[in-house]
Each structure stands twice: as structure tokens, then as C-alpha cells.
Homo-oligomer: A and B are copies of this chain.
Amino acid sequence: MGEFELIRQYFAAAACARVGGDVVLGIGDDCALLALPAGEQLAVSSDTLTAGIHFPDPCDPYLLGQRALAVSTSDLAGMGATPIGFTLALTLPEADPGWLAEFARGLDAMAAGCAMRLIGGDTTRGPLSMTLTVFGRLPAGQGLLRSGAQPGDLLCVGGALGDAAGALPLVLGEREQGTAEAAALLRRYWLPQPQLALGQALRGKASAALDISDGLLADCGHMATASGVLLRIEQQKLPLSDALVRFAGRDQALQYGLTGGDDYVLAFTLPTEALQALQAEGWLLHVIGDVAVGAGVQLLNADGQAITLASQGYNHFSG
């Protein structure tokens, strides 16, 4: 039996590979089998993470396992789906048992937090990279698309922005760790929390939604294009964490919040009444702007004046 066959058996024995819930058949046959409750649709997303591009190499395999699954699962949150499971196609330069044990432990931890199950995959030799395909379910017709934003809607985000981008100098070893701020930012980079419950709460309420992976301006640009509207962002309303402002200073923190990726916070649009209904349920949401007739993304200063995005290098998002 080859070492890669051993790896397959190793993952098949992981806690997150147990069959149950909507997973009828897991690892070990030609296919896995999923059951969907009547009236539900399946949500599917694939993400590839490559060493040196999407994460530093080398890095802690436990943290990598957690982060890889969180990043992928966040797409289910952006669609409002309830997680079911995932496949893992892992390419490894060698079968290092210590590395694999820690990586699987990280996967297990995030899978437990997200109610995800490992249902299959593949293992091959090569430079370290991985493709995760995630599966979720949601009532037919209630998927949160990017294309439904309506003029008059509010533009909101589900949490503080820019922390993961602020952590990059720490992740890359360019700044000293050891402070409380550094620890808080590193946690946001390595342990993003997919906003699954929020995504599900937005079903039937949000007119458009996505998870912010490329940065607020870039992802709002995607939503504006898909919806055929103008998204106006009031710069001073961006939620920035105290840790980020202390660590990076206010100006740099704002830049991270506007353009940094990797926070995996939801951005969404909805009518005022829907926002009030969610707030009444206890959700802490951040209104950062609104939807208007037009195209693209506009950034407004405290006086309500448009900031020329071109001068900041984002002219391709400008309406």
C-alpha cells in the first residue's frame, strides 16, 4: 500500500469524516451520497488554496487546516446555506505524519464549529495546495444572490473589516508579535469565522449578499455589477476594530478595511424594515451605506462628498 493510500485512510478515520446528518455515504466508494430535505436546493462552491499565494509556506498545519475550511465554508454563508459537508483534494510534496495529524486536527476543529463533514476527496503528490468543494442546502428560491440589490436598500456588513489584512505583516514575520492587538489580528487571519448563522438569518430579508474575500471595495464592485446599481459607502461608517486602529493607526486601518481581503465578513443589502426586523432579533449589523440608481461603487467622506477612488488606485470600481 502506497503512502498516499495511507493518507486517504488517515482522513477517512478523522472525526469530521463520520457519516450522519444529510450525508448518507461518506469516504470510500466511487461517490459520496447526500440526501436533501424536500424543497431544498444544494449550494456548491470550490476554492483552491496554494502555498505561497493563499497562505505562507511553511506555516502551522493546524492553523492551515482551520483556515482552509473556514475560507471555503464562508461561501456557503454568503449564499445563506446551511452547511452539509466538503471534499478535500490535497496535493502534498510528501506524506509527513506529524504535518497530516495537525492539519487534520485543524480541519476537525473547524468542521465541528461549522457542522461540516468530510465526505471525500483525493490525494496527490506535488507542491502543497488544496481544493475544497463545500456543500450546503437552503430552501428553494431563498439563495442570497449578488444580483438583487435595489435602489433605496441599505448596504451593511456583518462585522469589523480589515483585521486579516492588518495581520499580514505579522503572518509574514515583518512585524513583532506579542501584543494583545497582534494576537487579536492574527486570530482573525488564521481563524476566520464564517458568518453562517447570519447568512441563514438573511434569507428572505437581504436583497443581495456575498462574503468579503477580495476586500470591501472589490466585492462591492462585484455586487454593484451583478445588480446593475450604484453602491455608496460612507467611509466614516466602516466598522474597524480597536485592535486594528491601535496596531496600524486610523488611516492605515481604513485602507485595510476598504481594500484588505480575507475577513470573510458578509456584505449585504436590504430594505430598512428588514434591517429593523433583524435588529429586533438581536443581530448587531453595521450600516455602511446605501444603494442608488447608477453603476459601480462610490466612497463618500464625512461631508457626503465623493472621494475620487482613482486617486487611491481603485478607478476600475468607480461609477
Contact = CB atoms under 8 A, between A and B. Distances in A.
A91 B48 contact: yes
A43 B32 contact: yes
A131 B30 contact: no
**Interface of chain A, helix or strand or loop or mixed?**
strand
Given A29-B145, A29-B226, A133-B133, 19 more contacts: A28-B226, A30-B144, A30-B210, A31-B43, A31-B143, A33-B41, A33-B42, A34-B42, A35-B140, A38-B38, A44-B120, A46-B87, A47-B89, A48-B123, A48-B124, A50-B124, A50-B125, A53-B125, A122-B131
Interface of A: 1, 24-25, 28-36, 38, 41-48, 50, 53-54, 75-76, 78-79, 81, 87-89, 91, 119-127, 129, 131, 133, 135-136, 140, 143-147, 209-211, 226, 316
Nearest to A24: B41
Contact of A31 (B31, B53, B136): B136
Contacts of A78: 30-31
10 contacts: A29-B210, A30-B78, A30-B209, A34-B41, A34-B42, A42-B42, A44-B135, A46-B87, A126-B129, A131-B131
A46 B129 contact: no
Copies of the chain in the assembly: 2
Contacts of A81: 31
Nearest to A142: B33
A87 B75 CA distance: 14
Most buried by B among A28, A44, A210: A44
A131 B89 CA distance: 7
